[in-house]
Structure 1
Amino acid sequence: MATSTQYSWLLILCLLSACLVSASSDDTAYANSLLKFKQSLINATMLDDWKEPVVDKLCSWNKPNWTGCLCWNSSFIGLRLEGMGLGGKIDVESLLDLPLFSLSVMNNNFSGPFPSDMNKLGKLRSLYLANNGFSGEIPDGAFSGMKAIKKVALGNNKFTGKIPVSLLELPRLVDLQLQDNQFGGRIPDFWQKSLRVNFSYNKLEGAVPAALSHLNASSFLGNINLCGKPLEPCKPRKSIPKIAFIVAVVVGVVLAAFMILHLLCRRRAKPLQYEKSVDSFRMEGPAYKKSKKDKETEHGRKLYFVRNEWERFELEELLGASAEVLGSGSFGSSYKAVVFSGQAYVVRRFRQMNNVGKKDFYEYMRRLGRLSHPNLLPLVAFYYRKEEKLLITQYVENGSLANKLHGKRCPNEPVLDWPTRLRIIKGVARGLAYLYKELPTVTLPHGHLKSSNILLDSKYEPLLSDYGLVPVMNKDHAQQFMVAYKSPESTQKDRVTRKTDVWSLGILILELLTGRFPANYLKQGKGPSADLATWVNSVVKEEWTGEVFDKDMNSARHAEGQMFRLLKIGMCCCEWNVDMRWDLREAVERIVELKERDDDDDYYSCASEGDVYSSRAMMDDDLSFSSLRS
């Protein structure tokens, strides 16, 4: 009779045998994928041992049986194809079934654009494309979803354009090498802790972000328009060139003569131009001459305050105050300006706001100025000029929801837990409902609803900003940049409806719950931003493990049902079929009903209220997306 020890050894041998069979089967599949990848390469003579019949094992312990394979504990983990004279195409599709943690093709002859769909390699931790001939702009969303990646080396290529914003979405990024390319524009505000960079010898400009100012100056050398610590301090640009100064002097003499003779005495207004400096922005240039053709009144050249209760100040005081550049977005630049009273305001510059004439613009701005709700950022004043407009609002110290969700958290700053996020989305829903009520004739009462346009006050109450601007925006610019025009109905049928803002609300809900940024918002022009909804769909459909929710919510078991209810509301709001999509009234009612803790409430169907599920039963089931939406 066999002893218990014999049975134990027999069991261990069986398990080892099963593991070996599985590993062998996997290696065969991996080898076939590598052979497919090899077909896309040129001059692959150094990979001659990649051939059929495929090997049973790619790795013998830590030694590869195929050239260029990386191995660890007898498992294939990546490719290191360096200095092999390779060219052709990086066929990402052929690599998708591989457990690829590292990919290096440095020191080869690859050329052309950045490999498409690279962000599909979700397990990748290291990507090395340096010392090749890659060229062109890297799409903004090229790195979206690559949450595991730590090292990216793209140096010594011919890349142009701006540094991809999706690099800001990578929480584990510690090493970024972009040297010796032709990247231009400003360096994004990287927030990742312990990040090392090499941006030397590009065409970058502006100030080095504060988060990178502790690095060695060698990381930024060779960018002649780059400044700020650790480089030389940024110097404000001289606002008036010599020729303009000479003209101004001549004009001044003429004006003085006119004043002496008391003939045609007029004060001349200065045009709105600004120094592109982080320290100040001031009016500049020669005196503005009032022509007969353009008879602007003195009133028209002053700030127009939309309500009597606001503090009054002159345009010159606002533009002459010390200011801080807050950002430069798709509509124009934003500045924080502190007037003499000590009150801080935000000045927004708009150059693409000529859809209506002056009279209609004044009337519509006064209409927006009359709006008053606890969850709307009120308009304080505006300035009209044909070439550009200024909108002035109060400064909100706590910043935007996007910054709290995706930016670097300050020391001792609390995370956005579930009760806080619930309070935020309830405030957003109430503010949006108010806009729908007060702007009944406007198809898109908001039009640009996204996390960066939701500001948070000191109590984390949300304030909607940039609302109601579609009627005055140039249509082509609005379609290029505004969130509403990335909706399915705009993409598919070139139209928007009163439910389009509801779609934006749905995407916002998913962003709030998952902590994931809707990467397609970065795409210019029309293009659906439902990639986030598609990701939520896939996670819920494949495995309900709670992986869909942002870990920073610190969610407890007693809140999971409510979180799931909000998730379902979000999916019902961003339903692609407009007829099936909830209207705003339905969405707001369901959002307001949510609580911080679970109870016995039911879940709702997008199509009807007859098909409901018990919250606890739904949490215990293996959910599919079909049950989520029906």
Structure 2
Amino acid sequence: MALLTSFITSFTLLLLFVIMITSASDTGSLLKFRDSLENNNALLSSWNASIPPCSGSSHWPRVQCYKGHVSGLKLENMRLKGVIDVQSLLELPYLRTISLMNNDFDTEWPDINKIVGLKTLFLSNNNFSGEIPAQAFQGMQWLKKIHLSNNQFTGPIPTSLASMPRLMELRLEGNQFTGPIPNFQHAFKSFSVANNQLEGEIPASLHNMPPSSFSGNEGVCGAPLSACSSPKKKSTASIVAAAVLVIVALIVIGAVILLVLHQRRKQAGPEVSAENPSSIMFQSQQKEASSSDEGSRGSPTSSSHRSRSLRLLFVRDDREKFDYNELFRASAKMLGSGCFSSSYKVALLDGPEMVVKRFKQMNNVGREEFDEHMRRIGRLNHPNLLPLVAYYYRKVEKLLVTDFVHNGSLAVRLHGYQALGQESLDWASRLKIVKGIAKGLEHLYKEMPSLIAAHGHLKSSNVLLSESLEPILTDYGLGPVINQDLAPEIMVIYKSPEYVQHGRITKKTDVWSLGILILEILTGKFPANLLQGKGSELSLANWVHSVVPQEWTREVFDKDMEGTNNSEGEMVKLLKIALACCEGDVDKRWDLKEAVERIHEVNEEEVKSSLSPWMVN
């Protein structure tokens, strides 16, 4: 008996000794990694060598632990810079997750493939640049999630990604990748290469991905996008003839340009120009602003007109002022681009981060009309509306400046939460978001009663979320200044049943958009009508109606929505509100006031009370 007791004691001491050695090794490796980073002292100063990183139920901030070992690093939104010391991370044998999203790393690709046990790698929203080697992920057979969005990577997509059988999420949007999409042999749960410079046919394994996964790549074709056109064979003679014509045309165009520039120099004299090659987002404004309107040349007021055209006009007095040149010189990172606008996050020198949206579909709007409408929008003040801070007017395109909301959009939070390493939205959060959206719409209609559709472009990507998941509406009130011939192709309200069938917009059209948005929030599904542009015939509402009400709880509601105990009745109530908002007959559809009232009657948990007549119907 004494011998057994002695053996147990010795084994326990040995185990503790091994744990102490491992903890000490983890501590040294993490401190070494921290010291290799820039801008880390204040943020990671609580990493203390006297306390193990994984001690009992507690652990170092931003360090994830599993059974006493370091299993993950979540160093997000910390403005970290410097070189990623992969060698120190190799000393963490249980490391499975690395997330360095939303920092300022500006190096080339680190040798991440040395950490063969990684399962998730999140490096989105940094300034990584250069080509990623073709074999960058060779041997990393455990990787399931890779997010490299919104960096400055160039060259082809690494071919080693195509041979990773466990890879289920791949996000590469917002870079400068070129060439074809690799021939992936397996299906993905989440995939996006949007807003790159890719070309060629989409592999068959990706045909089930939404079209938005490939948007912004002009050279990409095939399902789910439009079919690829068959190349036509051209004779050698026709190719030579075309080349000669092109050369002659270029010579003529060059001569004309030189002549025009020479004449302008003689007339206008020397001009001062500002050049910032790194900030390409404002090049078109710079070129246009370098010359005044032709009608103003020679006029006594031409200099003041040019001065005004280069000036940012602020519509709020509670924001720090900055001028156009500061905005032009600021570093800019693209957040997204579509047929409606292009968005950039701009980091002002010694100032806040702002979002600048470029619009090219407003060139039919006169200066006075545009100024007046922007002042109206600038007077709006509500916690559920993203305030317009300033704007910049040129005839060809307009800039709208707003605050930067760090938590991103509702669309990303609903459909890309797994890619971001976040939890799904629970029922309470979704209900809070719906009520906040309703409040924002209500305020819009109260303050802008003359607009037929006060928002006009309500969708999940135009709902931002604060840190506390409070919804903030954006891109509202722009209907009057959008070119009306392009509006049906751009704005959500023109996908409504009344426009598709009768070509008209009413005061209840925004209510239809609200109903579709609520259904998207409850079901977790993309509205098919917005993705495919075929109007209400493919709407979420029709899909919900196709399911018998007894099966709504099991078939309709998002299966990833947590916290639904004692709430199913309230969820059904909100679902019925959404369907009433999506009523195809405008006369039968609720107006905004009634919809908002019903939404505010919904509770997080069921309340025993008699059903309202509208619920029975």
TM-score range, shorter chain: 0.5 to 0.7
Tell me, yes or no, if the aligned pair for 1:274 and 1:282 is still in contact at 8 Å.
no
1-structure distance, mates of 2:322, 2:419: 34
Report the residue type matching 1:513 in the other structure: L
2-structure distance, mates of 1:412, 1:578: 41
Which residues of 2 match residues 252-401 of structure 1 at below 5 A? Answer: 285=287, 288-294=290-296, 295=302, 296-401=305-410
CA-CA distance at 1:264 after TM superposition = 7.0
Q: Are the structure 2 counterparts of residues 477 and 359 from structure 1 closer, same or farther at C-alpha, using a change threshold of 3 Å?
A: same
Report the residue type matching 2:597 in the other structure: E
Q: Which residue does 1:180 correspond to in 2?
A: none
Q: Which residue does 2:198 correspond to in 1?
A: 204
CA-CA distance at 1:321 after TM superposition = 1.1
- From 447, 454, 461, the equivalent of 2:463 is 454
Tell me, yes or no, if the aligned pair for 1:371 and 1:438 is still in contact at 8 Å.
yes
Q: Are the structure 2 counterparts of residues 266 and 436 from structure 1 closer, same or farther at C-alpha, using a change threshold of 3 Å?
A: farther
- Report the 3-state secondary structure (helix = DSSP H, G, I; strand = E; otherwise coil) of the residue aligned with 1:293: helix
- From 566, 570, 575, the equivalent of 1:562 is 570
1:117-144 Cα shifts (integer Å, max 9, x gaps)? xxxxxxxxxxxxxxxxxxxxxxxxxxxx
2-structure distance, mates of 1:264, 1:529: 58
- Report the 3-state secondary structure (helix = DSSP H, G, I; strand = E; otherwise coil) of the residue aligned with 1:467: coil
Q: May I ask how many residue pairs the two structures share in their alignment?
A: 391
- From 592, 597, 611, the equivalent of 1:584 is 592
Q: Which residue does 1:593 correspond to in 2?
A: 601
1:180-221 Cα shifts (integer Å, max 9, x gaps)? xxx999979x9x99779999xx98259xxxxx9xxxxxxxxx
Q: Are the structure 2 counterparts of residues 286 and 439 from structure 1 closer, same or farther at C-alpha, using a change threshold of 3 Å?
A: closer
Q: Which residue does 2:413 correspond to in 1?
A: 404
1-structure distance, mates of 2:314, 2:521: 35
Tell me, yes or no, if the aligned pair for 1:275 and 1:282 is still in contact at 8 Å.
no
Report the residue type matching 1:288 in the other structure: S
CA-CA distance at 1:520 after TM superposition = 1.6
Q: Which residue does 1:533 correspond to in 2?
A: 541
CA-CA distance at 1:555 after TM superposition = 3.7
Q: Which residues of structure 2 form unaligned runs of 5+?
A: 1-165, 171-176, 201-205, 207-216, 221-249, 297-301
CA-CA distance at 1:497 after TM superposition = 0.4
CA-CA distance at 1:290 after TM superposition = 2.1
Tell me, yes or no, if the aligned pair for 1:273 and 1:282 is still in contact at 8 Å.
no
Q: Does 1:430 align with 2:424?
A: no
1:531-558 Cα shifts (integer Å, max 9, x gaps)? 2111111123573443211112114331
- Report the 3-state secondary structure (helix = DSSP H, G, I; strand = E; otherwise coil) of the residue aligned with 1:361: helix
Tell me, yes or no, if the aligned pair for 2:553 and 2:568 is still in contact at 8 Å.
no
Q: Which residue does 1:468 correspond to in 2?
A: 477
- Report the 3-state secondary structure (helix = DSSP H, G, I; strand = E; otherwise coil) of the residue aligned with 1:579: coil
Q: Which residue does 2:557 correspond to in 1?
A: 549
Q: Which residue does 1:218 correspond to in 2?
A: none
Tell me, yes or no, if the aligned pair for 2:279 and 2:331 is still in contact at 8 Å.
no
2-structure distance, mates of 1:224, 1:304: 34
1:97-152 Cα shifts (integer Å, max 9, x gaps)? xxxxxxxxxxxxxxxxxxxxxxxxxxxxxxxxxxxxxxxxxxxxxxxxxxxxxxxx
CA-CA distance at 1:175 after TM superposition = 11
1:442-475 Cα shifts (integer Å, max 9, x gaps)? 0010000000000001111000000000000011
2-structure distance, mates of 1:390, 1:373: 22
State the TM-score, normalized to the length of structure 2. Answer: 0.56
- Report the 3-state secondary structure (helix = DSSP H, G, I; strand = E; otherwise coil) of the residue aligned with 2:585: coil
Report the residue type matching 2:353 in the other structure: A
1-structure distance, mates of 2:319, 2:547: 49
1:367-386 Cα shifts (integer Å, max 9, x gaps)? 10110100000001111100
Q: Which residue does 2:490 correspond to in 1?
A: 481
Q: Which residue does 1:442 correspond to in 2?
A: 451
CA-CA distance at 1:435 after TM superposition = 0.4
CA-CA distance at 1:562 after TM superposition = 0.9
- Report the 3-state secondary structure (helix = DSSP H, G, I; strand = E; otherwise coil) of the residue aligned with 1:386: coil
CA-CA distance at 1:320 after TM superposition = 1.7
Q: Are the structure 2 counterparts of residues 523 and 547 from structure 1 closer, same or farther at C-alpha, using a change threshold of 3 Å?
A: closer
Q: Are the structure 2 counterparts of residues 311 and 253 from structure 1 closer, same or farther at C-alpha, using a change threshold of 3 Å?
A: farther
CA-CA distance at 1:603 after TM superposition = 4.3
Q: Does 1:513 align with 2:522?
A: yes
Q: Are the structure 2 counterparts of residues 297 and 406 from structure 1 closer, same or farther at C-alpha, using a change threshold of 3 Å?
A: same
Q: Are the structure 2 counterparts of residues 509 and 569 from structure 1 closer, same or farther at C-alpha, using a change threshold of 3 Å?
A: same
Which residues of 2 match residues 115-194 of structure 1 at below 5 A? Answer: none
Q: Are the structure 2 counterparts of residues 534 and 291 from structure 1 closer, same or farther at C-alpha, using a change threshold of 3 Å?
A: closer
CA-CA distance at 1:601 after TM superposition = 3.6
Report the residue type matching 2:539 in the other structure: D
Q: Which residue does 1:215 correspond to in 2?
A: none
Report the residue type matching 2:603 in the other structure: K
- Report the 3-state secondary structure (helix = DSSP H, G, I; strand = E; otherwise coil) of the residue aligned with 1:475: coil
Q: Which residue does 2:502 correspond to in 1?
A: 493
Q: Are the structure 2 counterparts of residues 254 and 466 from structure 1 closer, same or farther at C-alpha, using a change threshold of 3 Å?
A: closer
Report the residue type matching 1:420 in the other structure: S
Report the residue type matching 2:360 in the other structure: R
CA-CA distance at 1:355 after TM superposition = 3.9
Tell me, yes or no, if the aligned pair for 1:271 and 1:283 is still in contact at 8 Å.
no
- Report the 3-state secondary structure (helix = DSSP H, G, I; strand = E; otherwise coil) of the residue aligned with 2:554: coil
Q: Are the structure 2 counterparts of residues 378 and 198 from structure 1 closer, same or farther at C-alpha, using a change threshold of 3 Å?
A: closer
1-structure distance, mates of 2:369, 2:187: 49
Report the residue type matching 1:595 in the other structure: N
Tell me, yes or no, if the aligned pair for 1:324 and 1:337 is still in contact at 8 Å.
yes
Q: Are the structure 2 counterparts of residues 324 and 385 from structure 1 closer, same or farther at C-alpha, using a change threshold of 3 Å?
A: same
Report the residue type matching 1:474 in the other structure: N
Q: Are the structure 2 counterparts of residues 175 and 584 from structure 1 closer, same or farther at C-alpha, using a change threshold of 3 Å?
A: closer
Tell me, yes or no, if the aligned pair for 1:433 and 1:585 is still in contact at 8 Å.
yes
Q: Which residue does 2:245 correspond to in 1?
A: none
- Report the 3-state secondary structure (helix = DSSP H, G, I; strand = E; otherwise coil) of the residue aligned with 2:343: strand
1:501-525 Cα shifts (integer Å, max 9, x gaps)? 000000011000000110221234x
CA-CA distance at 1:300 after TM superposition = 2.6
Q: Are the structure 2 counterparts of residues 399 and 568 from structure 1 closer, same or farther at C-alpha, using a change threshold of 3 Å?
A: same
1:324-362 Cα shifts (integer Å, max 9, x gaps)? 111111212111111012411111111111343111110
- Report the 3-state secondary structure (helix = DSSP H, G, I; strand = E; otherwise coil) of the residue aligned with 1:346: strand
CA-CA distance at 1:433 after TM superposition = 0.3
1-structure distance, mates of 2:477, 2:405: 19
Report the residue type matching 2:559 in the other structure: K
